[in-house]
Amino acid sequence: MAVAGLYRRILPSPPAIEFASCDGKRLFSEALQSGTMEGFFRLISYFQTQSEPAYCGLASLSVVLNTLAIDPGRKWKGPWRWFDESMLDCCEPLEKVKAEGITFGKVAWLAHCAGAKVEAYRANESNFEDFRKHVIKCTTSEDCHVIASYHRRPFQQTGTGHFSPIGGYHAGKDMALILDVARFKYPPHWVPLSLLWDAINTVDDATGLLRGYIMLISRLPMAPSLLYTLSCRDDNWVKVAKYLREDVPKLLRSETVNSVQALFSLLFRTLPASAADFIKWVVEVRRQEEGVSSLSPEERERLNLKDEVLCQVRGTRLFKLVKELLSDPAFGSLEERRRRRKKKKKKL
C-alpha cells in the first residue's frame, strides 16, 4: 500500500558529495588534519532539524546561537534558557515565517538582537575571494560561524531559497561542508565553494535583493537588551508604523514647528491610543519570577549597566523636556487621552 508524502530526496552527486559517503569521510578527515573543521564539533553538538518546512533561517540561527553559548536571557521550557525556533519572533511573527519563510536581512537582525556580533554581506557587498577568506576564518575558529543564504538550484536540488550553517572547509578541493538543517530532505554534504557562491549570488524574489552570508562572531561584549525589547507580534506595530510613516509627515506639513519642544508637543498630542502598548517586554532581572535566590555575575552586570544607562538618559536635556511635557496637566497621559477618545466615539 502506497504511503502518502515524501521520504527524503536523493542528493544529486555530483555536484554534492554526501558527508557520510566514503569520499565525504575522506574529505572530512583531510580537512580535520588541515585545521579547517575547528567549529564542526560544537556545531554538530547543537545541531537541529528545522521543525517547519519554512523554518530553515530560524533553525540555522538557533544552532549557531546555542553553539556560541549565548544566553537568550529568557526561559525556553521549565527553568532552562535555550534558543529555540519558537523564541526567534521579535522581527517577524512565527505564523508569517511558517507560511512565507524569512528574509536574509531579518535573519541578520535576529542574530544581532539575540546577542551575537554579526557581520552580514549580500553578494553585491562581497566577492568570491572575500567569501573564501571569511569561510576559512570561521572554519579555523570555534568562535565564528557562517550561515549561508542560497538557492538550491545550482546544486540541482529541489526547492528554492534556503539557509544552513557551513560546518567546515576543505582547502585542497576548495569545498565547503553544508550542514543542511532540512535533514528530512538532504543530509549534510560537501559542495564546491565556487558553486556555493553562485547559489548565494542569486536574487530573492521576496525582496528583489541578492542573497548573502552571515558571520556570527562570538557574542557581544554586553547584553544586547539593557532596557527594552519591542515585540512586533502585536498589532500595535502596524498602527504605530502607520502613524510614523503617514500621519507624522502630514502633521509636520500642516502645523508650524519651530522648536524641539513644539515638535515633541505635537507628537505626544497626536500619538495613537495604542502607543501605550507599543513597548511590550521589559528586559530586566526578576528574582521572584526566575525563582533564584541570587544574581549571576552576568545578570548583576546587566543591572549595573541598565542603571548607568538610565542615569545618563535622565541627565539629558531631551529627557527633561519630555518629562516636563508629560507632567503638564493640560497634556494628560496616554491612558487619559485613550479614555477621552473612547468617550468621544461613544457620543458619535
What residues act catalytically? 56, 162, 180
What are the residues whose beta carbons fall under 8 Å from the beta carbon of 123, sequence distance 6 or more? 197, 200, 201, 202, 210, 211, 212
Q: What number of helices (H) and strands (E) belong to the chain?
A: 14, 11
What are the residues whose beta carbons fall under 8 Å from the beta carbon of 121, sequence distance 6 or more? 130, 131, 134, 212, 213, 214, 215
- Give the CA-trace dihedral at 27, 29, 34, 37, to 10 degrees: 90
What are the residues whose beta carbons fall under 8 Å from the beta carbon of 281, sequence distance 6 or more? 228, 229, 230, 231
Write the burial class of residue 303 (CB in 10 Å: 0-12 exposed, 13-18 middle, 19+ buried).
middle
Maximum Cα interatomic distance, the chain, rounded to a whole number of Å? 79
Q: What are phi and psi of 278, to 5 degrees?
A: -65, -45
Instruction: Determine the Cα angle at 276 with ends 113 and 231, to 5°.
Output: 25
